[in-house]
Structure 1
Amino acid sequence: MSADDDARSRERHPTRGSAETQREAADVLQRLSSVIASRRGGDPERSYVARLLSRGNDAILKKIGEEATETVMAAKDGVAERIVAETADLWFHCLVMLEFHGIGANAVLAELARREGLSGIEEKASRNGASKGEDRK
């Protein structure tokens, strides 16, 4: 990827946005989560989400595994557009998994907000009661 391609990619896919952009992103997640919820019990012949939900947890988890692998491969290739597209697929299927378990996207957003500003070590210790030495094997 040339320097110009890299700069154009950053313009199309900024890593951080304004507070308004972040609120809009959360709104997109909420709307998508609502659409996914509305597909529960729908016709599996007409709705991909209804079909996936009807197949159960293992089918959803398999799809998440596939999408996670594709996301990793895209990141390894380093093409921003593909990374974004594969991450969107992964997030979508994670939202389907959350719906299957009756968990709203707000629960995940609230957890991310709770962790904001904590170092990774502090956050892990608060979850697990982990001491600093426990991560060493």
Structure 2
Amino acid sequence: MNIDFNKNTDGLVPAIVQDASTKNVLMLGFMNQEAFQKTKASGLVTFFSRTKNRLWTKGEESGNVLNLVDMKLDCDNDTLLVYVIPKGPTCHKGSETCWNEDNNQSFGFISKLEDTISSRIENADTQKSYVASLFAKGINKVAQKVGEEAVEVVIEAKDNNDDLFLEESADLLFHYLMLLQAKGYKLNSVVDVLKGREK
């Protein structure tokens, strides 16, 4: 990597640290050339601490190290994106990120949809909520609905109407997310199983 350490007078470049799995940003640090080389050689993310005025390997005292996965350089050659697997909380105050957020896997809109399903289940207004009314009928009914939607997806897959295929696919995914919650799980649990099968 052709990193421009001379762009700033202090010889430091920002290093944005991102969890390689969840893709959440964990912290921001600074590296000089020596910190960059030590990070590459040791596999543990090392910064130049401006307060200590020395190299500082994250977790050298707490044990909460950042195991290096990969590094990328931005288009101006003056900012690093550092992919890591964190061991323990990243922030020195004990939180998982330096923004005091949980470092959970998020699937964007799908995670929001899961939260909506949870909220409808908890509110249990069977008069206003389709989710609540289906859950009130029990897990067998939820599972049956997933089966029905799966059959409809197969039928539409054999036709040429892509709009209907996508509509039925959305229905299947929605009801599958409901079934997962009926069993006490969310999509993260299924993703963990798939990760375990990765070769």
Where does structure 2 lack aligned partners over 5 or more consecutive residues? 1-22, 24-105
Q: What count of residue pairs does the alignment treat as equivalent?
A: 94
Q: What is the one-letter code of the residue matched to 2:153? A: T
- Give the fraction of aligned pairs with identical amino acids, expressed as a percent: 37
Q: What is the TM-score when the length of structure 1 is the normalising length?
A: 0.62
Asked whether the equivalents of residues 39 and 49 of structure 1 are also in contact (C-alpha less than 8 Å), the reply is: yes
| 2:166 pairs with one of 77, 80, 84 | 84
Higher relative contact order, chain-length normalized (CA < 8 Å, sep 6+): 1
Hey, what's the Cα distance between the residues in 1 that align with 2:197 and 2:132? 32
The alignment's C-alpha RMSD in Å is 1.9
Q: Deviations over 1:64-112 (max 9, x none)?
A: 1110111000101133222211111001000011111110121123333
Q: What is the one-letter code of the residue matched to 1:90? A: L
Hey, what's the Cα distance between the residues in 2 that align with 1:39 and 1:82? 26
Q: What is the one-letter code of the residue matched to 1:69? A: V
Hey, what's the Cα distance between the residues in 1 that align with 2:185 and 2:169? 20
Give the match's secondary structure for 1:99. Answer: helix
Cα 1:78–1:109 change in 2 (3 A) is: farther
Asked whether the equivalents of residues 36 and 96 of structure 1 are also in contact (C-alpha less than 8 Å), the reply is: yes
Larger strand percent: 2
- Do residues 39 (structure 1) and 134 (structure 2) align? no
Where does structure 1 lack aligned partners over 5 or more consecutive residues? 1-19, 119-137
Larger helix percent: 1
